[in-house]
Amino acid sequence: MLILSTSMVISFIVPMIVMILASILSKKLNNEQEKSSPFDCGFDPKSSARMPFSLRFFLIAVIFLIFDVEITLIQPIVIIFKTSNMMIWTMSTMFFILVLLGGLYHEWNQGALQWAN
């Protein structure tokens, strides 16, 4: 019990010390004068130089990555087809595809796939 509590304290204190040292030793300033000045030719910008990032685009990108990983998980199922029991292979494949289709239906139902409002 003593070893467990000692290791928990050490695993809490060491990262805290590293984070405190990193914040003390970093030379980054939050409000540098160069960052707030106009870019390049010295003219004051008419509007913000940064365009707002579309959260819809980010959500679609995350959904794409999730389904891309799921396609990678489907590929070995085809290779295992010859060496496995046909009933078990069919049931597990259908269950996996139904879970994917259920997730797609849920995302569609929630409006996550609609680009424009």
Judge contact between 47 and 66, C-beta under 8 A: no
**Is residue 101 domain-resident?**
yes
| 55 or 15, higher pLDDT | 15
**Is residue 34 domain-resident?**
no
**Is residue 61 domain-resident?**
yes
Which residue range(s) make up the domain with 97? 54-112
Count up the domains in the chain and report the number.
1
**Is residue 14 domain-resident?**
no
Q: Encode pLDDT of 3-14 as tens digits.
A: 888 988 899 999
Task: Please tell me the pTM assigned to this model.
Answer: 0.47
pLDDT (0 to 100) of residue 98: 93
pLDDT at 114 over 80: no
**Is residue 103 domain-resident?**
yes
**Is residue 72 domain-resident?**
yes
Judge contact between 82 and 76, C-beta under 8 A: no
81 Rama sector, left if φ>0, alpha if ψ -120 to 50, beta otherwise: alpha
The structure tokens listed for 19 are 């984070």
**Is residue 3 domain-resident?**
no
**Is residue 74 domain-resident?**
yes
In terms of C-beta density within 10 A (0-12 exposed, 13-18 middle, 19 or more buried), how is residue 101 classed?
exposed
